[in-house]
Amino acid sequence: MYTVKEVAEITGWDAATVRVYARKIGKGTVLKNRKQVFLFTCEEVRAFVLHRKDLEREKEVRHKDQIKRAKIVQILKDSGSVGVSKQSLAEMVKAESPKEIDRLVMGLSDLPIAEDPTMDDRLYWVGQ
């Protein structure tokens, strides 16, 4: 059984992060040396490490998506009313597929981006 301080030393995270995780999973406290402490098993320590790695991966993906969205906006502004096909846009921002472009553009719904799927498969910047 490990206390918060021991888990923090083992994993390299600060004790506050470990306490937040303990509260998040609903970990109960135990009275030890007249103090309320969280006690972790080996499996719970492993689960904490996996949880932190997942959060870091998600943060990295969000960061990459922000960079790709910024590139999309710049490309569409430069192309203007001519527009850019989704396939060429996917190649320019190094997206895996046009579906990923659709997902990224959905996050830009507050910007003046237009699409006319009846005529062609292009995205246009309709703002000034």
Per-residue tens of pLDDT for the chain, all 128 residues: 898 999 999 999 999 999 999 999 888 888 888 888 899 999 999 999 999 999 999 999 999 999 999 999 999 999 888 888 888 888 899 888 778 888 898 888 888 988 877 777 788 888 76
Reported as type and span, the H/E element at residue 21 is: helix 15-24
Q: Which among 101, 91, 34, 45 has a CA at the least distance from the CA of 69?
A: 101
Q: What is the DSSP letter of 82?
A: S
Helix (H, G, I), strand (E, B) or coil at 46: helix
Q: Starting from the edge strand earliest in sequence, which strands make up the sheet with 113-115, in order?
A: 84-85, 122-125, 113-115
Please give the Cα distance from 69 to 106 (Å, whole number): 10
pLDDT for res 123: 87
Could you tell me the two tokens for 4? 């918060």
Please give the Cα distance from 112 to 80 (Å, whole number): 11
pLDDT for res 60: 96
User: How many CA atoms, within 13 angstroms, populate the side-chain half-sphere of residue 12?
Assistant: 3
Q: What domains can you pick out in the chain, each with its CATH number? A: 61-128 (1.10.10)
Stated pTM of the model: 0.70
pLDDT for res 32: 85
pLDDT for res 62: 94
* Phi, psi dihedral angles at 82 (to 5 degrees): -70, -40
pLDDT for res 44: 92
Could you tell me the two tokens for 78? 């430069």
